[in-house]
Chains A and B, each alone.
Chain A
Amino acid sequence: MISLSKPAKYVFIGKITLRNQLAYVFDFMVRSVFLLLILYIFMQLWQSTFAGEGTSTINGYTFKQMMWYLVFTESMVLATPSLSTRIEEEVKSGDVAFKLIRPVSFLAFHYAEYMSEVAIRYAINLILGSAIGLLLVGPLPVGVGLAWLPIMAIGGFTVNFMLGMLVALSAFWVEETRGLEFVYNKILFTIGGMLMPLELFPESLQRIGQWLPFQTVVYFPARTAVGMHLGEITGAIATQWLWVVLIGLMVWLLYRKGVRKLNVNGG
């Protein structure tokens, strides 16, 4: 009976999630309005910082680049659904059984679902974010970096999925995973470079950050999109996928261990 290749299965799961998510488009748009607030506050902040420094660039970033950098990082971060909430809910309610009872990979199913959900939210955020960016600081000079954004965003979201899954899978052992997720999000805000590019950090912190996966999530795509580090694009993509493989392996091992000791609730 096996006539469809396996990837087709997950592509379809992605498609159906996309359609299911369309019901929430309005909700996403309301969330995106939050972008306006964030960007406005940061605009005030950076304006006075640039004025204080009296230079046109800070660590290589112009004011405009800095603002668009924020548009790209915030659009990504606001597009990611909480995997912890989802997996924890599935484990607690016993819904996890549904996924285990079918011939689909639990991890691949969630990846397909996550990526298509992210795609729709990210698209909305980017459109709204760009509109706000245009309104507040004017257009970003279109460059080669922007063309790489989709590919780097896929890498970034994939690393983010793997890291999020690593946290979420602890639901197999502990009741609450949201605390861990909170910490992870704050790491992403800081040394992940969501709030400002890593170049602005002290030398030592930068060096630590380089050895961690967090920079690959939002910092890599955003800095490329605003036209920084263009010579390092291939290296950055390779780094992203190296982390995907490494963390993916950890996720897979953790999942296998988790499933063995799974306590499906409700009976």
Chain B
Amino acid sequence: MRSIQVDRLEKIFQVKKKQEGLAGSLKSLFRPQYANKAAVEGITFTVEQGETVAFLGPNGAGKSTTIKMLTGILHPSSGTAEVLGCCPWTERSKLAYRIGSVFGQKSQLWYHLPPIDTFELMSRIYELRREDYKQRRDNLIERFELGPYLNTPVRKLSLGERMRCEIAASLIHRPQALFLDEPTIGLDAVVKQRIRELILEMNREEGTTIFLTSHDAGDVEKLCDRAIVINHGGLVFNGQVEIMKQQFLTHKTVQLVLEDDPGNLVLEGVAVLSSSGSRLTLSVDTGLTTIESVLSALMASHRIVDVTVQDPPMEDIITRMYGTFVAKEAVT
């Protein structure tokens, strides 16, 4: 079953052109000039029910604009989209009952009231039956381990505690699709991990479609099967996270311990990331050379005590991926 279907979706904003100087400012007061700025340029993709998809791209790539169109907040300039069989912008309120959303930088909880009150409000807004609500609420409280803070005003919760409440609040009406915008922003590693586990659990047990934007590589790697990457409003990658890693994984990290100090190491396609005496960390460009030839070249002159070969962290892959976009633009 299709959960999200997007076909040539486009959003063009009209931006007032600011002219230089005071005279320019005055002129644009009376005769403003507008420039068209395409935030999203004809993207097409589909997401199946129950999939976990990372929606990636550098700042200003059009991620938020796309999410806003998919949740019905923004009307597109052209193109169509269907979320759970509804057209988001014409059937916004109908769709609203079936989707959930978490924006890491915005809170939906009532600041001075304990989270339980927001849950109660959500149950009213989503018109849940009392029995259903109570059962669901108790289940979420147990799963998210919210018991201790249920009756504490939100303003007194830590960010991690609050975020768990935010996500629980967005799940109370059993949404079929959950839109998450930077859900782990600002959290420490342990809390991040816990939040990812919880999201994944909901996905596995209830088949909730997860559509996530994040700048956190861990979110992508741990949470998502597939990645959709956009840049400058256009689709640049749509496939399995594993494949994305391979495609943009042109470097491997090799950590070595030698018996002696190799001195100044010069090999084609190899960059020394760090070295302290006989310990070396190398970055090997697999497009120019192979791990094998690097190792045999080293073994010819040194004795190797220990070696580990690693993929660089997701972080670097994303950085490299965004970097390639910039490089490509420079060429064209």
Contacts and interface: CB of A to CB of B under 8 A. Distances in A.
Interface of A: 1-4, 8-9, 12-13, 16, 19-20, 22-23, 93-95, 97-98, 100-104, 260, 262-264, 266-267
A20 B113 contact: yes
Chain B interface category by residue count: 35 or more
A153 B103 CA distance: 38
Interface string B45-83: 000000000000000000111011001111100000000
22 contacts: A1-B132, A2-B127, A4-B124, A12-B124, A13-B125, A19-B112, A19-B117, A20-B111, A20-B113, A93-B106, A94-B106, A97-B71, A97-B106, A98-B103, A98-B106, A100-B92, A103-B97, A103-B125, A263-B13, A264-B74, A267-B63, A267-B64
A188 B127 CA distance: 39
Nearest to B68: A264
Nearest to B61: A267
A93 B125 CA distance: 23
Contacts of B124: 4, 8-9, 12-13
B127 A1 contact: yes
Contacts of A260: 75
Contacts of B92: 100
B93 interface: yes
A264 B127 CA distance: 27
Contacts of A20: 110-113
Nearest to A23: B112
Contact of B64 (A8, A23, A95, A266): A266
Contacts of A13: 121, 124-125
Contacts of B73: 97, 100-101, 262, 264
B31 interface: no
B126 interface: yes
B126 A103 contact: yes
B63 A98 contact: no
B184 interface: no
B71 A101 contact: yes
B209 interface: no
Interface in B81-140: 92-93, 96-97, 99, 101, 103, 105-106, 108, 110-113, 117, 120-121, 124-129, 132
Given A20-B111, A23-B112, A262 B74 contact: yes
